[in-house]
Amino acid sequence: MSQRIKIKALLESEQTDINVIVKGWVRTFRNNQFIALNDGSTNSNLQVVVDFENTDPALLKRLTTGAAISVSGLLVTSLGKGQKVEVKAKQIEILGDSDPEKYPLQPKKHSLEFLREIAHLRFRTSTFGAIFRVRNSLAFAVHQFFQNRGFIYLHTPIITASDAEGAGETFHVTNFDLLNPPKTENGEIDFKEDFFGRPTNLTVSGQLEGELGAMALSDIYTFGPTFRAENSNTTRHLAEFWMIEPEMAFYDLNDNMDLAEELLKYVIKYALDKNAEDIQFLTQRLEDEEKQKPQQDRSEMLLIEKLQFCLDNDFERLTYTEAIDILKESTPNKKKKFQYPIEGWGTDLQSEHERYLVEKHFKKPVILTDYPKQIKAFYMRQNEVDANGRETVRAMDILFPGIGEIVGGSQREERLEKLEQRMDQMGIPKDELWWYLDTRRFGACPHAGFGLGFERLVQFVTGMGNIRDVIPFPRFPKNAEF
């Protein structure tokens, strides 16, 4: 190993007047003298000062934006503004040239749309460097949170034969020759001949298998990729996204909500502490962006304030039914400003309704519970029918400002009879889920869990408006580049 020091460590170093070796990519080179060098370890660039009078002009020419270089020199206190220390270069080696005529990243502000088209290079911008360092910290904090509490990290399968959410929006997995698949006598595709001997798909959720783990290990969590073939081109949906799904034996819905709220606060706090500089940068970025908007569309809080606010306040908890009453009486509903007016009880909330509750009415994160049975998955625990004959389930969704639904979860239906009844009603094949039902046959117990959409969390913490900008290589309809 060379004596290379990463720029983050160097900038934090107490020592000066020492020889150092740094390596990184040139962000800018100005006045034939000052290199702004970045190696991804931190948002800040290191200023490298070149003694241009004693440097080969041919080498100076190769110090272009994007070039990879190695510098050895003296770390000194900087006299210039903007940095405490800088490196006076003694020797510079070009490790990889970058033709400035062809390099797509210019030292100027590029649009996020443009950067999405060059996602292989966008890590090299300050914005994406910050986003992916924050994403990394959040992932680490998720593990730390659960590990500190004795949860077991369980790896649920990526390929499954079930559709946990019952939504049917799955990607098939097959190794058939699609032009010529084996057929049965009736002319149908013969999945018995397929790799797994049956139709399979990429998982939409690890929950059902997670429940099996919780029924022995007590507290488990998954943290892995999930796949949904929903054709939704929104700023909140991906076809491949990462989900954190804890599942806990002996938890009821209140325990479940407490855990989710604690988890969110823990990981946000972790990122605020660990990535202060990145979040400061992203806050500034967002503030600049907001200045382009008309006053009434600007958010009331800076990013960093919004995160702090979320830590300092209890999430508002109320039932779906209470939320509907609020929405019915709300000004936008009365003035017919909602695209989907709130008419009665029982329909799913649209994002405009969620946003109203979170951003206008409560002005803080909200947890909605006890949704109508009709709009939720089969595995949620059924409540007693209420006085008005309304059927609800022990569901909870956490809604965040600017994001909408960030967490979806429930207490699970542990009563075999009730569960089977519901599966019959919804046309979910019981024989295929025999293993799931077994947990209700042998030692069933109250249990609960939830799913946290990791990218939506990263969106919240980085303030990025589009989910495609918080995952390295987004997958969405008609796009699987890189």
Which among 60-68, 263-271, 359-367, 443-451 is the span making contact with ligand 4AD, rule CB under 6 A? 443-451
How far apart (Å, rounded) are the C-alpha atoms in residues 327 and 350?
11
| Least distance between Mg ion and beta carbon 405 (Å) | 6
Which among 138-146, 307-315, 436-444, 449-457 is the span making contact with ligand 4AD, rule CB under 6 A? 449-457
State the Cα angle at 74 between 68 and 80, rounded to 5°: 85
User: Considering CB distances under 5 to 8 angstroms, the limit depending on partner class, which of ligand 4AD, Mg ion, none binds residue 453?
Assistant: ligand 4AD
Residue span 244-263 as binding mask against ligand 4AD, x where in contact by CB under 6 A, dash where not: -x------------------
Among 73, 213, 449, 463, binds ligand 4AD (CB under 6 A): 449
Q: Residue 77 or 479: which CB sits closer to ligand 4AD?
A: 479
- 405 makes contact with ligand 4AD (CB under 6 A): yes
State the Cα angle at 479 between 475 and 482, rounded to 5°: 75
Angle between helices 276-290 and 253-274 (to 10 degrees): 90
- 404 makes contact with Mg ion (CB under 5 A): no
**Contact by Cβ (8 Å): 25, 38:** yes
Among 214, 248, 407, 464, binds ligand 4AD (CB under 6 A): 407
Query: What b-and-e string marks burial along 255-278, b requiring 16 or more CB atoms within 10 Å of the CB?
Result: ebbebbbebbbbbbebbbebbeeb
Among 451, 463, 469, 470, binds ligand 4AD (CB under 6 A): 451
Of 390, 292, 299, nearest to 345 (Cα)?
A: 390
Q: Residue 332 or 465: which CB sits closer to ligand 4AD?
A: 465
* Site size for ligand 4AD (CB under 6 A): 22
Pairing of strands 152-153, 316-319: unpaired
- 165 makes contact with ligand 4AD (CB under 6 A): yes
Site for ligand 4AD in 207-246 (CB under 6 A): 207, 228, 230, 237-238, 241, 243, 245
Among 210, 365, 408, 409, binds Mg ion (CB under 5 A): 408
How far apart (Å, rounded) are the C-alpha atoms in residues 366 and 292?
29
- 408 makes contact with ligand 4AD (CB under 6 A): yes
Residue 72's DSSP bridge partners are 21, 91
E strand residue ranges, 168-301 = 172-173, 200-202, 219-227, 240-249
CA–CA distance from 336 to each of 323, 332, 339 (Å)? 18, 6, 8
Of 10, 3, 11, 40, nearest to 25 (Cα)?
A: 40
CA–CA distance from 12 to each of 7, 41, 53, 130 (Å)? 9, 12, 30, 18
- 372 makes contact with Mg ion (CB under 5 A): no
Q: Residue 128 or 476: which CB sits closer to ligand 4AD?
A: 476
User: Considering CB distances under 5 to 8 angstroms, the limit depending on partner class, which of Mg ion, ligand 4AD, none binds residue 62?
Assistant: none
| Least distance between ligand 4AD and beta carbon 241 (Å) | 4
Question: By the criterion CB under 6 A, which residues form the site for ligand 4AD?
Answer: 164-165, 205, 207, 228, 230, 237-238, 241, 243, 245, 405-409, 449-451, 453, 455-456
